[in-house]
Copies of this chain bind each other. A is one copy, B any other.
């Protein structure tokens, strides 16, 4: 069984993605993770804030894994983007259309401090870097790749927002036609 700490971060991640930092009570996280109240602060001394940062890190890693899984087997960039968006749309549907960008929903709306903003900024940069790396490997020039990655990332963030408003994953699925 996963460690108490990990269980807490994962459950927190699910909830934060759905209702944002302030929309989720710690009690609910604890209940779902089957962890008693006092234990949270043993594993996350700064409480809810630490928990959100940990949850964002886990979610960010998962997105990186999805990027790799999508592009590693792709013949060209467009193909990789298509697979990537397909996987994300599926993930969106699994969660009944209630989630947005897994890290943005968690960290935006949280305490407005430098740590939260820096973490978010760093994660976004990692995503774009990883996409650009794949684009280069698949034949684009470094400049073009960076441009492509940024275009994909920005549109994807927008798609998550629109898809969630509509409760419809098609926005995500139709993204490749728009950015490639």
A residues bordering B, Cβ < 8 Å?
A: 18-23, 98, 100-101, 104-105, 107-109, 112, 117, 120-121, 124, 147, 150-151, 153-159, 161-162, 164-167, 171, 175, 178-179
How far does the alpha carbon of A105 sit from the alpha carbon of B120 in the complex, in Å?
16
Closest B residue, CB atoms, query A123? B165
- Contact between A162 and B155 (Cβ–Cβ < 8 Å)? no
How far does the alpha carbon of A55 sit from the alpha carbon of B109 in the complex, in Å?
17
* Pick from B20, B23, B154, B157: contact of A178, CB under 8 Å: B154
**Chain B positions within 8 Å of A107 at CB level:** 165
**Chain B positions within 8 Å of A151 at CB level:** 155, 178-179
Known: A21-B22, A104-B165, A117-B164. 12 other contacts (CB 8 A): A20-B20, A105-B108, A108-B161, A108-B165, A117-B165, A117-B167, A121-B165, A124-B162, A150-B178, A151-B155, A153-B158, A157-B162
**Chain B positions within 8 Å of A124 at CB level:** 162, 165
- Please name 6 pairs of A and B residues whose Cβ atoms are closer than 8 Å in the assembled complex, sorted by A: A104-B161, A105-B109, A117-B166, A117-B167, A154-B178, A155-B158
- Contact between B162 and A154 (Cβ–Cβ < 8 Å)? yes
